Amino acid sequence: MNKDYVMSKPVPVGAWSNFDFTLTPQAKDVFETAMQPLFGAKYTPLAFASQVVAGTNYCFLCDVQYATPFPDGNAVKVHIYQPSDGKPSAYWIVPITP
């Protein structure tokens, strides 16, 4: 069997995909559009997972640089909802602690 060939299974509706460390153009666009109105920190997406619901949920693993002298973390999960017929918006940002 050729080890370079990996067949992936389709993700069922409602299930989260695995995290992908290669951001697709669509994922980048969703992230940039949803994060544009936020300020006070710079978020850099490193990976994402998605979940198809009535629209699409995204979870981005991000490096974050806070605009404060004493930041209390440097990694977060950013949850974004992309409705089927509207603009995406961030609804939950969770610090990741070791």
- Write the pLDDT tens digit of every residue in 32-76: 999 999 888 899 999 999 999 999 999 999 999 888 877 666 899
What does the pLDDT average to over 4-20? 70
Give me the pLDDT at residue 40, please: 87
Q: What is the pTM of this model?
A: 0.82
Q: Tell which wins on pLDDT, 71 or 6.
A: 71
Q: Does 3 score more than 50 pLDDT?
A: no
Give me the pLDDT at residue 11, please: 67
Cβ–Cβ contacts within 10 Å for residue 81, how many? 19
Q: Does 86 score more than 80 pLDDT?
A: yes
Closest CA to 88 of 80, 77, 97: 80
Q: Name every residue whose Cβ is closer than 8 Å to that of residue 48 and which is 6 or more positions away in sequence.
A: 19, 20, 23, 27, 31, 58, 59, 60, 61
